[in-house]
């Protein structure tokens, strides 16, 4: 009981309980893993209509002042200075060894940069960013804002917007002033909506009252992102893993890969030139049995890697996984054995996403 009481709560905590959410500890917060409909139903509803997720545990912050974008580029190979107003980008914060401190979203709101970082890493990320800021640039955490994700093919009709994928703007939704981006973590079209904490419950209730919207928890969020081939920090990414190993080179700006003026660039450049020792790949196990994180991966009897994320994909109607394998075993179609309860389960390297993305390009 003491552990539950010490957990942080989002502004929607009471609403989750009203809706029958099963609350679990996650990244220091009490969060709903599922509602009475169940993870499978929530997952499939998101793929077919619209699901509402509470992601208020994520860290939100603003970076303000002349030179904010250039300062942030010291820590990330993303092209922040080239980000046009009203646009958002996925990026990686790196350490001196070229490992990934976190993955994050950065948006240009015209007069400031808007950042969203992972809940489990905000206590690391924000001090790290502050450490590289010059005079006149300040980082302002936004703990007084909640974050909701409305995801699925039904969202465009429910909340009409001129935004395209990765567009962001201040707007009104259901009568509330918000900052909304056309993005998400499910592979579907949708919106991530930043709203003052005091309006979070009102907005959530208004969205849930729209036709075809149901609440969804962490369980469905995880299976959706896995089918979409999207990384989870702490599973698929960590401080020892580089952007090249993680197959996230696409997140590095072309200009940045010519200047090499970001922290950790030496390792990244070497791995791009000479190839990394291992690579993140998609994995399709044969049969119906899901494979979990930390399962050993073998090829021809030898250990060649480890599963980092795995589970059952309700839309794929079968097990899906991601993991790291030695580079020579990373080609699509490569035969692997996944060790489950000391027995080899046949699998093959498979392209991601397992479920096609349906972003509004």
Could you read off the pLDDT of 6-22 as tens digits, one per residue?
A: 999 999 999 999 999 99
* Cβ contacts of 209-212, under 8 Å, gap ≥ 24: 210/50, 210/158, 211/158, 212/49, 212/50, 212/154, 212/158
* Cα gap 94→112, rounded to integer Å: 22
Question: Span 304-314, mean pLDDT?
Answer: 98
C-alpha separations of 36 from 17, 23, 71, 216, 291 in Å: 11, 12, 46, 10, 25
113-117 β-sheet, strand order: 87-94, 100-108, 113-117, 59-64, 138-141
Task: Check pLDDT > 80 for residue 287.
Answer: yes
pLDDT in tens, 45-87: 999 999 999 999 999 999 999 999 999 999 999 999 999 999 9
For residue 360, what pLDDT is reported?
95
**Residue 331: DSSP 8-state:** S
In this prediction, residue 4 has a pLDDT band, given cuts at 50, 70 and 90, of: low
At residue 271, what are phi and psi to the nearest 5 degrees? -70, -35
DSSP β-ladder status, 50-54 and 213-215: parallel
* Cα gap 154→276, rounded to integer Å: 41
Tokens of 126: 């924000």
Reduced to 3 states (helix: H, G, I; strand: E, B; else coil), residue 340 is strand
DSSP string for 41-91: HHHHHHHHSEEEEE-TTSEEEEEESTTHHHHHTTT--S--TTPPTTEEEEE
51 and 220 in contact (C-beta within 8 Å)?
yes
Strand partners, 313: 318
Task: Check pLDDT > 70 for residue 1.
Answer: no
* Cα gap 63→71, rounded to integer Å: 10
Task: Check pLDDT > 80 for residue 3.
Answer: no
For residue 71, what pLDDT is reported?
98
For residue 134, what pLDDT is reported?
98
Task: Check pLDDT > 50 for residue 2.
Answer: no
Question: Could you tell me which residues come within 8 angstroms of residue 27 by beta carbon, excluding any fewer than 6 positions away?
Answer: 57, 118, 119, 120
Strand partners, 312: 319
For residue 5, what pLDDT is reported?
65
Reduced to 3 states (helix: H, G, I; strand: E, B; else coil), residue 265 is helix
243 and 77 in contact (C-beta within 8 Å)?
yes
Listed residue (298, 223, 200) closest to 39, CA to CA: 223
**Residue 315: DSSP 8-state:** T
Task: Check pLDDT > 70 for residue 115.
Answer: yes
Question: Span 323-334, mean pLDDT?
Answer: 98
Q: Which alpha helices (H) appear in 120-255, and where do they start and end? A: 122-130, 155-158, 200-208, 218-227
For residue 299, what pLDDT is reported?
98
4 versus 7: the higher-pLDDT residue is 7
Task: Check pLDDT > 60 for residue 257.
Answer: yes
Length of the chain: 361
pTM of the model: 0.97
**Residue 270: DSSP 8-state:** H
Task: Check pLDDT > 50 for residue 290.
Answer: yes
pLDDT in tens, 29-46: 999 999 999 999 999 999
Mean pLDDT for the chain?
Answer: 97
Listed residue (151, 199, 198) closest to 173, CA to CA: 199
Instruction: Return the H-helix or E-strand segment holding 3.
Output: helix 2-6
- CATH numbers and ranges of domains, the chain: 1-228 (3.30.1360.120), 249-350 (2.40.30.110)
3-state SS, 82-151, equals: CCCCCEEEEEEEECCCCCEEEEEEEEECCCCEEEEECHHHHHHHHHHHHCCCCCCCEEEECCCEEEEEEE
* Cα gap 244→267, rounded to integer Å: 9
């Amino acid at each position: 009981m003491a552990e539950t009481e010490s957990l942080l709560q989002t502004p929607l905590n009471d609403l989750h309980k009203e809706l029958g959410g099963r609350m679990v500890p996650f990244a220091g917060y009490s969060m709903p893993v599922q509602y009475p409909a169940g993870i499978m139903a929530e997952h499939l509803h998101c793929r077919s209509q619209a699901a509402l997720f509470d992601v208020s545990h994520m860290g939100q912050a603003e970076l303000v002042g002349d030179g904010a974008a250039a300062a942030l580029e010291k820590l990330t190979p993303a092209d922040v200075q080239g980000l046009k107003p009203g646009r958002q980008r996925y990026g990686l914060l790196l350490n001196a060894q070229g490992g990934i401190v976190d993955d994050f979203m950065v948006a240009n709101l015209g007069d400031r940069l808007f950042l969203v970082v992972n809940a489990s890493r905000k206590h690391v990320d924000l001090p790290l960013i502050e450490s590289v800021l010059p005079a006149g640039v300040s980082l302002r955490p936004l703990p007084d804002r909640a974050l909701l994700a409305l995801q699925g093919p039904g969202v465009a009709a429910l909340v009409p917007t001129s935004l395209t994928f990765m567009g962001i703007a201040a707007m009104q939704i259901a009568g509330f002033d918000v900052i909304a981006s056309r993005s998400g973590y499910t592979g579907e079209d949708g919106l991530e909506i930043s709203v003052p904490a005091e309006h979070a419950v009102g907005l959530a209730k208004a969205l849930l009252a729209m036709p075809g919207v149901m609440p969804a928890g962490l369980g469905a969020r995880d299976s959706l992102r896995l089918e979409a081939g999207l990384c989870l920090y702490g599973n698929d990414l960590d401080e020892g893993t580089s952007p090249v190993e993680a197959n996230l080179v696409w997140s590095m700006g072309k200009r940045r890969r010519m200047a090499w003026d970001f922290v950790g660039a030496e390792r990244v450049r070497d791995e791009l030139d000479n190839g990394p020792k291992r690579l993140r790949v998609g994995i399709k196990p044969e049969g119906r049995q899901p494979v979990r994180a930390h399962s050993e991966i073998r090829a021809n009897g030898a250990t060649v890697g480890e599963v980092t994320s795995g589970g059952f994909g309700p839309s794929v109607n079968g097990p899906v996984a991601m993991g790291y394998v030695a580079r020579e075993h990373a080609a699509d179609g490569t035969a692997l054995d996944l060790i489950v309860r000391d027995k080899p389960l046949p699998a093959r390297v498979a392209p991601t996403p397992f479920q096609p993305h349906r972003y509004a390009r």
